[in-house]
Structure 1
Amino acid sequence: MFEIIKSGGWMMLPLILCSITAMAIIAERFWSLQRKKIIPPGLVKQVWAVSREKKLDDHILDRLRDSSCLGYIMAAGLANSHYGRDVMKECIEEAGRQVVYKLERYLNTLGTIASITPLLGLLGTVVGMIQAFSAIVAQGIGDPAVLAEGISVALITTAAGLTVAIPSLIFHRYFERLVDEYIIEMEADALRLVDILHGEREVLL
């Protein structure tokens, strides 16, 4: 493996760095985007039960805000519930935008890696072909080892770039889809709680 990397030339260094960064982001997002951390099961039911018993004080709201992304959104609405339904919804939407930013953290970097690594591989290919033709000009075609060195650089960097780009793109699309699903579900849960608190929907939790 080391010999293959070495044969790829200096262009392998940024590709390796991109690979390490992509793997770190993918691992971190898998850990951070666990469903139980974003949308804990039964949270709406628990919040409604506490609200019905008139126990929603600042301490409870702080715990709810720190518990999960859904809890953060609900706490923003509940803290301003006494201002009316419209204000409550506005606070939920504002908190939702902050949660979206948190859920999409590092995804832009992952998408960038998926976009630039094929270009880095292509650049390595161009460099390798330049080396190959330079060797032909300088030494002719009598020494195939010199020609093969330039060609190996071209092929290895192309393969390395695609090897990093393909899984990065796959996981980027997967995490984007997962975040979209979480956002839709959290919005539905938060708005359902708003309607329940203001008597515009029956309690079916």
Structure 2
Amino acid sequence: MTGQLFLQYHDSLNFFRTGGPIMVPLMLISLAMWALIIERLFHFRRLLQNNQPIDALWTAVCSNRGQAPSLTGLNGLLLDTFLRRRSGHLQLDHYIVDEIVLSLNRSLNSYLAIIGVLAAIAPLLGLLGTVTGMMNTFNVMALFGTGNIKGMASGISEALITTQTGLVIAIPGLYMKSFLDRRAHNARHQVAAAGYYLRNHLKEYKEYDPC
């Protein structure tokens, strides 16, 4: 078992070295992109998995609980923030609800653009590696002609490995970006509906006495 792990490690290291210097930024991009993807996946799971129905919001407002411990998920976060910021003035509380909705929407979109940029950069770096690899191949041919097969193969390997690595990073990255965009879109609809529900109930009282 240990021998197999060592061989796999050696093969991976050899693959990384064969790809040339472009492999270093490609690996850094991959690590950063997947760190952000995993963070977003856990963030959306925490907000959406146990999200409470919006009709529970007004009951929690009437109970006047500062932390709203019975509510979880995205609606619970909305309510908890509102209860901590509420002023007791009807019109001002309308603005507070709107500001909370906008703030939550911004947080739902966090890092998604960065993930898309990193996924788009990866194949471009792979293309750069292709260019440098072919340049190394032509340099060998200029010095030794076609007789140095090993030198030519090294440059071609660098070109192909960097291209392959860039695509391997970009394809799942773009898929996950699209998946996270859909999750964020659904979450924005939910928080907008919850904010609209809360504002409408506040409007029912000319004098702001919610319960």
Q: Verify same fold: TM over 0.5.
A: yes
Q: How much has 1:162 moved relative to structure 2? A: 0.7
Instruction: Give 1:3-82 correspondences, 5 Å limit.
Output: 3-34=14-45, 36-38=46-48, 40-42=50-52, 44-51=54-61, 54-56=62-64, 60-63=65-68, 68-77=73-82, 79-80=85-86, 82=88
SS at match of 2:151: helix
Aligned-partner Cα distance in 2 for 1:189–1:3: 54
Give the aligned CA root-mean-square deviation in angstroms.
Answer: 2.4
Q: Does the 8 Å CA contact 2:97/2:199 hold for their aligned counterparts? A: no
Which residue in 2 is equivalent to 1:174?
A: 179
What is the TM-score with the length of structure 1 in the denominator? 0.82
Please, which runs of 5 or more residues in structure 1 have no aligned partner? 201-205
Paired residue type of 2:164:
A
- What letter is aligned with 2:63? K
Once residues 88 and 6 of structure 1 are traced to their aligned partners in structure 2, the CA distance between those partners, rounded to angstroms, is: 60
Provide the C-alpha distance between the structure 2 equivalents of 1:175 and 1:89, rounded to a whole number of angstroms.
Answer: 30
Deviation at 1:155, TM superposition (A): 0.6
Distance 1:180 1:166 in 2: 21
Aligned-residue offset at 1:139: 0.6
CA–CA distance in structure 1, aligned partners of residues 66 and 192 of structure 2:
18
- Taking the aligned partners of 1:104 and 1:195, their CA distance within structure 2 comes to 26
In structure 2, how many angstroms separate the alpha carbons of the residues matched to 1:42 and 1:101? Answer: 21
Q: Distance in 2 between matches of 1:61 and 1:115?
A: 44
- Picking from 103, 118, 127, the partner of 1:113 is 118
SS at match of 2:66: helix
Letter paired with 1:161: G
Query: CA offsets, 1:62-99, max 9 Å, x none?
Result: 456x9654334334555447432x54332222112221
Q: Which moved more, 1:119-128 or 1:15-24?
A: 15-24
Are the equivalent residues in 2 in contact too, given 1:39–1:186 (CA < 8 A)?
no
Number of the residue aligned with 1:184: 189
The verdict on how the C-alpha distance between 1:71 and 1:55 changes in structure 2, with shifts beyond 3 A counting, is same
Which of 197, 204, 209 is the matching residue for 1:199? 204
Kept in 2, the 8 Å contact 1:74–1:92? The answer is: no
What does residue 209 of structure 2 align with? none
Q: Rate the CA distance shift 1:48–1:144 in 2: closer, same or farther, 3 A.
A: same
Q: Aligned partner of 1:9: which letter?
A: G
* Number of residue equivalences: 192
Residues 191, 69 of structure 1: CA spacing in aligned structure 2 closer, same or farther, 3 A cutoff?
A: same
1:94-113 equivalence runs, <5 A: 94-113=99-118
SS at match of 2:181: helix
Correspondence for 1:135: 140
The one-character-per-residue Cα deviations of 1:1-32 (angstroms, maximum 9, x if unpaired) are: 32222110111111111111122122111111
CA distance in structure 1 between the partners assigned to 2:185 and 2:170 by the alignment:
22
Name the stretch that deviates more: 120-129 or 20-29.
20-29
Judge conservation of contact 1:72–1:95 (CA < 8 Å) in 2.
Answer: no
